[in-house]
Amino acid sequence: MNPATALATVLVDELVRCGLTDVVLAPGSRSAALALALHAESRVRLHVRIDERSASFLALGLARRSDRPVALICSSGTAAANFHPAVIEANESGAPLLVLTADRPPELRGTGANQTIDQVKLYGTAVRWFAEVGVPEDRPGMVAYWRSLACRAYQRAAGPANPGPVHLNLAFREPMIPDGDTSWSEPLDGGAGGPWVRARVAPPPIALHIPPTRRGVLVVGDGAANVRRYVAAAGMAGWPVLSEPNGGARYGDHSISTYHYLLGTPEFADAHRPDVVVTLGRPGLSRPLLSWLRRADEHIVVAPDLDRWPDPTRSATQVAQAVEIPVASGDDSWLHAWRQADAAVRSALDAVLDRSGTSEPRLARDLVDALPNGALLFCGSSMPIRDLDQAMRPRRGIRLMANRGASGIDGLVSTAMGAALAHNGPSYALLGDLSFLHDQNGLILGPREPRPDLCLVVVNNDGGGIFSLLPQAAVRDSFERVFGTPHGVDLAYVAASTGTPYTLLGDISELPKAMRGEGPRVVEVRTDREENAAVHGRLREVAQDAVREFLSS
């Protein structure tokens, strides 16, 4: 057996023994041994994509939704470089990716050999661990090295406290396809009974106990862990819960869905300073919330990994792996005030949205309301997730995701595809037109590839809608060219190029009907950027009026 085939066979087998179930492959010649070993492995689900960037974000979506390591494989050269944006997002969002890059052997590096670049530590500090595996050789001890290496890579990616991407760089010499010889200097099998190395999970950390208080607040951002336990504890303590849509805690009687507008009204923010704020995950959607956190007297950040804790406002006073929120005696006036104000603002917002026609905030609100229980909704990183944050009503029974680690607009179609493939139920995505066009290759599925049940709802305002809500909009002379960036693309033709079913939404009331179907499909919703900015302005005005009327009553 040639060394390339031996290494690939052993590495794939050991990763499967560790628990690997999904692999994404971007084809190439130098990775041939890995590709053939995977094709012969019936215990994994193989996904093949012709575009490395699309492949990497597909793997990211699979890993984030399944919470299990997903292997990502490519050939050498710029193929590996195209993985970098997804690796960065996986690092920031804690997604367990196993990145296996094929490489040229040392004697070809630095010589001008074809498809050869410096791949050693290619992703820098964006990975939890890197290993230069070395050129495989037919000598005793190789199998133990390869199998223990695979176990270490799998466990470093999985976490459990700090999951994220791991990079193995695999140098292969030719030949790279099986030669018919099965002999090797030692047995290649890993024996029975599970992985070569078993990593034991540490016991749960001792929780930080905080003094009982009724004037507490639970804030939940992206990537939060153990959400239901903390929401239940906050409910027992009489605390309001301020959750971003992708935080997973916007449900129940204690959920304050209009916190963006409440805290954006100075009179309310000043009058509702808590004794303590407990933060899960990384909040980052609402500037009023972030400003309010800076003024908290006691701000406790819960972070499973004490080497990496989110504190963008530099307001944390304590950081703990776990927190015990005690039940506090006393009246419910604190929670009651939050809930009454929330109800007043919600009523005012809904009245504006109901009259706004097919506006972007209304689309976000109505889309969530229309989703069936058990659905997954993947949200675009720019305006879609913010529209959800400001317009979405509390509800149970759905899962929301977004690439808010690095908050890029790249790879979102592919990430949604991957998440849908890992989700047991119907899946949906709410994306902007620029994000959709940025990753239109994500629609390319080969005839033998697993096909997700995914409806992509695309808001088309012919450009970058978020900039119309930022100070740049005041620079009228240059705004449209360098910020608005109209594209004039007919999305129906984009969908048609890959045979993806397409629907143009005529009226917002037709949304549930337009979303029906099976497999990948696109629903386009056309809006106007200036009208959208006006709707957001009206929402802000009526919300602040409602808050001030509540405070004066």
Token output for 128: 């939890």
Tens-of-pLDDT digits for all 553 residues of the chain?
Answer: 999 999 999 999 999 999 999 999 999 999 999 999 999 999 999 999 999 999 999 999 999 999 999 999 999 999 999 999 999 999 999 999 999 999 999 999 999 999 999 999 999 999 999 999 999 999 999 999 999 999 999 999 998 889 999 999 999 999 989 988 889 999 999 887 789 898 877 787 889 999 999 999 999 999 999 999 999 999 999 999 999 999 999 999 999 999 999 999 999 999 999 999 999 999 999 999 999 999 988 999 999 888 889 999 999 999 999 999 999 888 899 999 999 999 999 999 999 999 999 999 999 999 999 999 999 999 999 999 999 999 999 999 999 999 999 999 999 999 999 999 999 999 999 999 999 999 999 999 999 999 999 999 999 999 888 887 878 877 877 888 888 889 999 999 999 999 999 999 999 999 999 999 999 999 999 999 999 999 999 999 999 999 999 999 8
Q: Is the pTM of this model over 0.85?
A: yes
| pLDDT value for 517 | 96
Residues 6+ apart with CB under 8 A from 76: 28, 30, 31, 101, 102, 103, 104, 115, 116, 117, 119
CB 11 within 8 A of CB 196: no
- Residue 472, class by beta-carbon neighbours within 10 Å (0-12 exposed, 13-18 middle, 19+ buried)? middle
Burial pattern 177-211, b for ≥16 Cβ within 10 A else e, equals ebeeeeebeeebebeeeebbbeeeeeeeeeeeebe
Considering only CA atoms, which of 538, 375, 384, 344 is closest in space to residue 452? 375
> Where on the phi/psi map is residue 301: left (φ > 0), alpha (ψ -120 to 50), or beta?
beta
How many other C-beta atoms are found inside a 10 Å radius of the C-beta of residue 542?
17
Alpha helices, DSSP H, located in 355-485: 360-370, 383-391, 412-422, 433-438, 476-479
Token output for 308: 């990496």
What is the enclosing helix (H) or strand (E) of 302? strand 299-302
Residues 6+ apart with CB under 8 A from 474: none
At residue 367, φ and ψ (nearest 5 deg) are -65, -45
Distance separating alpha carbons of residues 545 and 551, to the nearest angstrom = 10
* Cα distances (angstroms) measured from residue 505 to each of 165, 502, 508: 39, 10, 7
Model confidence pLDDT, tens digit, residues 34-63: 999 999 999 999 999 999 999 999 999 999
Model confidence pLDDT, tens digit, residues 202-245: 787 889 999 999 999 999 999 999 999 999 999 999 999 999 99
| pLDDT value for 202 | 75
Distance separating alpha carbons of residues 501 and 127, to the nearest angstrom = 38
CB 76 within 8 A of CB 119: yes
Considering only CA atoms, which of 51, 4, 57, 47 is closest in space to residue 22? 47
Distance separating alpha carbons of residues 61 and 330, to the nearest angstrom = 45
Question: Which residue is associated with the tokens 């007919």?
Answer: 490
* Angle at which helices 3-18 and 142-158 cross, to 10°: 40
CB 236 within 8 A of CB 327: yes
What is the enclosing helix (H) or strand (E) of 348? helix 333-354
Distance separating alpha carbons of residues 191 and 151, to the nearest angstrom = 14
- Residue 533, class by beta-carbon neighbours within 10 Å (0-12 exposed, 13-18 middle, 19+ buried)? middle
CB 92 within 8 A of CB 163: no
CB 414 within 8 A of CB 439: yes
Token output for 153: 């890579």
